[in-house]
Amino acid sequence: MDMRKKIAAGNWKMNLDLEEAQKLASEVAAMVKDEYIGQAEVILAPPFPFLVPVHRLVSDVSNIHVAAQNLHEQEAGAYTGEVSASMIKSSGASHCILGHSERRQYFGEDNALLANKIDQALANGLTVIYCLGETLEERESGVTAEVVGRQLAEGCFHLDASAWNRLVIAYEPIWAIGTGLTATPEQAQEVHHYLRIKLATQYGDAVAQATPILYGGSVKPANAGVLFSQPDIDGGLVGGASLKARDFVEIIKAL
């Protein structure tokens, strides 16, 4: 029996202005309310300045939640330009994406730093969407399992089993992000299954079976259904296609 939550999360990255963000959030909320019937969780991850207005626009739709795309690893203080977990929580957001490959690549975030960010997020009552994935070179040299296994272990295995009800894993092969290349459903399933076995070995079956593992990398309406039909794929982390309300809602419906 499938006990796991089904989740579609839209990562808006550094796109849209306030007006566009509000329009997109309103459209998604209206479509989800009018058209979608089910248990799936919908998460919108706008840039920091739009967390509050987006949360206001979706707060009456019970299965839509708001996520930040990053946070700072310290609680508070003299860190000009940074945003803390408690600020995000107080904005109305309930989730935070951490470890996105763009953060790892352009901002030098490594597993040790991400472990601290995860602690901050959890200590402030946020649910974490922790991203991991291999580069094309790593896939081609046959070290995918080793790379994602290390990202999972070094980022998360310091946590107690009890923390896992507020953790979601997102497998995002870097070569498939924003490139139009999608992992085949079988390629994605193989990695998701591997991650679930790693979880089972570390924490036991209950945690492994309850933890949602999302796939990300050029998910669109045309490929969402076949990806989500894989046994260990519990939803998607969606970039480009989440910027169009109709496309994102079609992906939600594929859950």
Residues at the interface with ligand PEP (CB under 6 A): 11, 172, 177-178, 216-219, 237-241
CB of 132 to ligand PEP, least distance (A): 12
- How far is 241 from 219, CA to CA, in rounded Å? 7
Residues near 62 by Cβ (< 8 Å), separated by ≥ 6?
A: none
Give the residue with the Cβ less far from ligand PEP, 104 or 208. 104
Torsion over CA of 254, 155, 89 and 12, rounded to 10 degrees? -40
CB of 187 to ligand PEP, least distance (A): 15
Give the residue with the Cβ less far from ligand PEP, 136 or 161. 136
- How far is 45 from 43, CA to CA, in rounded Å? 7
CB of 23 to ligand PEP, least distance (A): 20
CB of 99 to ligand PEP, least distance (A): 11
Query: Encoding tokens for residue 177?
Result: 């992000």
Indicate which residue of 65, 172, 192, 250 is catalytic. 172
- Give catalytic status of residue 100 as yes or no: yes
Task: Output the residue with the shortest Cβ distance to ligand PEP.
Answer: 239
Tell me whether residue 244 is exposed, middle or buried, using C-beta atoms within 10 angstroms of its C-beta: 0 to 12, 13 to 18, 19 or more: middle
Give the residue with the Cβ less far from ligand PEP, 165 or 179. 179
Pick from 95, 250, 254: nearest CA to 170: 95
CB-CB contact of 27 with 247 (8 Å): no
- How far is 215 from 226, CA to CA, in rounded Å? 12
- Give catalytic status of residue 190 as yes or no: no
Indicate which residue of 55, 72, 95, 100 is catalytic. 100
Give the chain's end-to-end CA distance (angstroms, integer). 16
CB of 77 to ligand PEP, least distance (A): 30
Give the residue with the Cβ less far from ligand PEP, 178 or 204. 178
3-state secondary structure of 129: strand
Give the residue with the Cβ less far from ligand PEP, 177 or 233. 177
> What residues act catalytically?
100, 172
